[in-house]
Chains A and B, each alone.
Chain A
Amino acid sequence: MNRRDFIKTSVAAGSALLLSNPFSLLAATESEGLCDLVAVRGGEPAEMFRRGISEMGGMGAFVRYGQAVVVKPNIGWDTPPERGACTNPELVGEIVRQCLAVGAGRVEVLDHTCDLWKNCYRNSGIEAAVKAAGGQMVPGNSRRHYTDVRIPAGKRLTYAKVHRNVLEADVLINVPVLKNHGSTRLTLGMKNLMGVVWDRKYWHRSDLHQCIADFSTFMKSDLTIMDGYRVMRTNGPMGVSEEDVALVKAQIIARDPVAVDAASAKMFGLQPDDVGYIPIADAMNVGSKDLTRLSIRKVRIAG
């Protein structure tokens, strides 16, 4: 072929190569790393998380080498795991383990508990699981650990005292438990973030739903993992006995906190709009409650 033909062919081939990224071609066929939300049913919490996070691109997609990570489960109540009031300890332990496995510098776990904090940390089983996994439990019930922050987009909540370890962390992983709540109907991911502030009473007397949404405009978690292994059907958020709990064996993982809460509401049996703060947060652009626009991966584990 002559020189002109050679140049034309090369440019055509080169731009074809550039424009159609072979890696994304590969990705498109295997659907790897493209999903927005993973839902897992069946299995045990640790295994469910391992399967789920791999669909999201692996823990390494969220935690880089040497980073400081804060894992925020629900440790609010002095109850054992079977009561379903706190996050499943096995799940929390596995998350800590995965973070350390991809090279996190330190992994801290904390909550500003409602009941006596030492009892909550111990009796929920989370302290033991975190220690076994190599993480560090941090107290959350002393006022001196909290720093003032402003919440510029807040309508009712314009400033708050937030736990300084959360503010200083590179990565925030929110691990709420899916359960009924007496006044907000469900307590999910965005409400779980109440546990990183000092003055919760202010939220309760100043339009609770609005404050929950306001805070989520400020506090951006990098990843939310909804623990639906045991779901408290009624008498939430503390429950009265084990009979309030159903063994649902579900887990939902996503970056978008509104999407996780919307999907979790549906998993419970309600609609996203039934939980007051979800549509408010959606309207404030914290995220999107419209699940039809998301790419959702569904994983079923036997057992």
Chain B
Amino acid sequence: MKHLRRVRRCVAGAVFALMALVFIDFSGWIPVWVSDALTATQFLPALVRLLTGGGILAAGCLVVTGLTLLFGRVYCSFLCPLGILFDGAARLQKRRRYRSSFPHNHLRVSVVMVLLLSVIGGSFVLVDLFGPFSLFGRSATLIARPLVIVINNGLSRILEMGGSYSVAPWSLKGIAWGATALTAATLGVLVWLARARGRIYCNTFCPVGAVLGLFSVGARFRVRIDVSTCNSCGGCSRVCKAECIDPRMKTVDATRCVVCFNCLGVCPSGSLFYGRSRQLQGTGGGDPDLFSSERRALMLTAVVMAVPGGRLPAANAEQAPEAKGRSLTPVVRKLPVTPPGSRGIDHFTRRCISCLRCVSACPSQVLQPSLTGYGLKGFMMPSLQPRFGYCNTGCTQCGQVCPTGAIETLPLEEKQLTQLGKVVFVRDNCIVILNRTECGACSEHCPTKAVTMVVEKGLRVPVVNPDICIGCGACEHACPTKPFKAIYVEGNRVHIQAEKPRVHPPESLDTGFREESDFPF
């Protein structure tokens, strides 16, 4: 039985390392299929994908459910990166002694009620905020990744002193300080909780823990106590990080047990085992009462979890106010620009779990978490923010790695014609108008030439054609004016297809080029 713990630690260690690597990988060295395969094992993203579209990658949710029904909450110890992080944090604490605790069912029920109420109110933000994969993803993307980049750049600097350019420096321009601070604070609280009370989060606020706990009620294989040999010494409950073993009643609460196997080797009389029930005088105090408050709480949570796919349309259908009369300065974006493949704000916010996998994968760092852009219902969901970069025409990374299908994988040709938003030119902020000197930075960067330069009083002024604009944000990123941009992208509520860029410009755009076969001097 002791080897079970060793196996768990090996597998959990590997899963955590790989998962962290996938988020931290800033140079795109890890292939997309590795990322997809890993995130497909995660319960909440796979569930969202299953209920909103399906496809092969949604199978992970069913596999995990099946495993849990049979083996209990093995997911929580083997596959959940947040749980594994908790285990690691708890291990660092020496002389740790746990105590068997009450199920806190009042708290669990309250959590479920609040979640349910917010869901009925049309907001999935609480599910997103408390989901373990999302919490891990945000921590990895906003904290671990920048730290690793700093280390990489330090190494690059040292190597360059020796004349070697083998380690390339990486630009750390995309830091959303507000979101990062919030995530760091959350992580701090979670780690503190883990060091103090082990898996307490998993058995109170975690929605996945609640659902899988429900599924484990009738698990065939579970940690059990042989009451005939147990003498209630309590040695097992002292090492149980889920605080689910009651030595006096000789019971192991399967709905809270995270199947870490830590207890198996500790019992002096060998009364703990993991397996099917034997025909003994009761196995640990009998099965829980069918209609216990615990079960009720868990069932409610299960209902809450099942609803992600059916987000109530009413709350999302509010019309954005029409942009009448562009204000000159300051410039404010009314609708956030959602990533290519997200189809639009509604499709996106119904499926995004704010894990920030897309933010960690975006090579230009234009995708950043948005604190207020989507309102309360989309807290921390990412949007394109051109002050950090712009959407690369040849790139489809975000759609390829999104674990829930909130951002669909688009073929490159389709992506290059998908209009995320429309360009808006704010003439009174433009350098050429203000200073009467040449600029042209916006048109320079435009991949479709939705922004062209037209002669006006001897200088070249931008002219925009929103129909061929794809909303990549390159113009906004390049515009040098201060304090407010003279050109920016206003998000489309629903993505549409842009018209194809002009290939043969009309005669009026004569650039002066003359085909000349000789030497003109």
Q: Give me the interface of A with B, judged by CB distance under 8 Å.
A: 39, 41, 78, 114-116, 118-119, 136-139, 141-142, 144, 180-185, 201-202, 204-210, 231, 233-238, 240-241, 243-244, 246, 248, 263, 266-270, 274, 276, 291, 296, 298
Within 8 A of A (CB), among B441-472: 441, 443-449, 452-453, 460
- Among B63-71, B134-142, B163-171, B327-335, which stretch is in contact with chain A? B163-171
Cβ contacts B414-455/A at 8 Å (1 or 0 each): 000000000000000001000101111101111111001100
Cα distance, A276 to B438, chains bound together (Å) = 9
Within 8 A of A (CB), among B147-163: 153, 157
- Residue contact A205 to B481, C-beta cutoff 8 Å: yes
B1 within 8 A of A: no
Give the residue name and chain of the A residue nearest to B363 (CB): A116
B33 within 8 A of A: no
- Given contacts A204-B431, A276-B438, are A183 and B505 in contact (CB under 8 A)? no
Cα distance, A141 to B437, chains bound together (Å) = 27
- Residue contact B438 to A274, C-beta cutoff 8 Å: no
Give the residue name and chain of the B residue nearest to A78 (CB): B394
**Interface CB pairs A-B, < 8 A, 16:** A78-B394, A114-B444, A139-B168, A142-B171, A182-B453, A204-B441, A204-B480, A206-B437, A209-B438, A235-B449, A235-B505, A236-B511, A238-B447, A241-B503, A246-B515, A248-B516
A residues near B102, Cβ cutoff 8 Å: none
- Residue contact B440 to A180, C-beta cutoff 8 Å: no
B504 within 8 A of A: yes
Which listed residue (B444, B480, B505) contacts A234, Cβ 8 A?
B505
- Residue contact A116 to B165, C-beta cutoff 8 Å: no
B291 within 8 A of A: no
Give the residue name and chain of the A residue nearest to B441 (CB): A204
Cα distance, A182 to B516, chains bound together (Å) = 22
Cα distance, A41 to B516, chains bound together (Å) = 10
- Given contacts A183-B444, A204-B480, A237-B444, are A118 and B521 in contact (CB under 8 A)? no
Cβ contacts B378-395/A at 8 Å (1 or 0 each): 000000000000001110
- Given contacts A185-B512, A266-B520, are A116 and B437 in contact (CB under 8 A)? no
A interface SS class: mixed
B509 within 8 A of A: yes
Give the residue name and chain of the B residue nearest to A42 (CB): B517
Minimum CB–CB distance from A191 to chain B (whole Å) comes to 11
B residues near A207, Cβ cutoff 8 Å: 435, 437-438
Give the residue name and chain of the A residue nearest to B518 (CB): A41
Which listed residue (A78, A268, A296) contacts B392, Cβ 8 A?
A78
- Residue contact B513 to A205, C-beta cutoff 8 Å: no
Cα distance, A57 to B86, chains bound together (Å) = 71
B324 within 8 A of A: no
Cα distance, A82 to B447, chains bound together (Å) = 16
B residues near A235, Cβ cutoff 8 Å: 449, 505
B514 within 8 A of A: yes
A residues near B448, Cβ cutoff 8 Å: 240
Q: How many residues of B contact A (CB 8 A)?
A: 50
Which listed residue (A118, A138, A269) contacts B512, Cβ 8 A?
A269
Residue in B157, B438, B480, B518 with the greatest tally of chain A CB atoms within 10 Å: B438
B interface SS class: loop
Cα distance, A34 to B445, chains bound together (Å) = 41
B residues near A185, Cβ cutoff 8 Å: 511-512
A residues near B283, Cβ cutoff 8 Å: none
Cα distance, A78 to B390, chains bound together (Å) = 13
- Residue contact B513 to A184, C-beta cutoff 8 Å: no
A residues near B393, Cβ cutoff 8 Å: 78
A residues near B438, Cβ cutoff 8 Å: 183-184, 207-209, 276
Give the residue name and chain of the A residue nearest to B168 (CB): A139
- Residue contact B511 to A116, C-beta cutoff 8 Å: no
Minimum CB–CB distance from A62 to chain B (whole Å) comes to 23
Residue in B153, B394, B452, B482 with the greatest tally of chain A CB atoms within 10 Å: B394
B residues near A138, Cβ cutoff 8 Å: 165
- Residue contact B444 to A240, C-beta cutoff 8 Å: no
Which listed residue (A116, A237, A243) contacts B503, Cβ 8 A?
A243
Cα distance, A291 to B447, chains bound together (Å) = 36
- Residue contact B165 to A182, C-beta cutoff 8 Å: no
A residues near B511, Cβ cutoff 8 Å: 180, 185, 233-234, 236
- Residue contact A183 to B501, C-beta cutoff 8 Å: no
Cα distance, A142 to B152, chains bound together (Å) = 13
Cα distance, A209 to B394, chains bound together (Å) = 31
B519 within 8 A of A: yes
Cα distance, A257 to B452, chains bound together (Å) = 29
Which listed residue (B481, B505, B512) contacts A268, Cβ 8 A?
B512
Q: Which 9 residue pairs spanning A and B have beta carbons closest together?
A: A183-B440, A269-B514, A201-B480, A207-B437, A233-B513, A182-B443, A182-B453, A205-B480, A142-B169
Minimum CB–CB distance from A201 to chain B (whole Å) comes to 4
Which listed residue (A181, A206, A266) contacts B521, Cβ 8 A?
A266
Residue in B392, B437, B505, B511 with the greatest tally of chain A CB atoms within 10 Å: B511
B364 within 8 A of A: yes
- Residue contact A269 to B513, C-beta cutoff 8 Å: yes
Cα distance, A243 to B437, chains bound together (Å) = 30
B residues near A276, Cβ cutoff 8 Å: 438
- Residue contact B513 to A180, C-beta cutoff 8 Å: yes
Give the residue name and chain of the A residue nearest to B364 (CB): A116
Cα distance, A139 to B447, chains bound together (Å) = 24
Cα distance, A38 to B438, chains bound together (Å) = 31
Minimum CB–CB distance from A139 to chain B (whole Å) comes to 6
Which listed residue (A115, A209, A296) contacts B437, Cβ 8 A?
A209
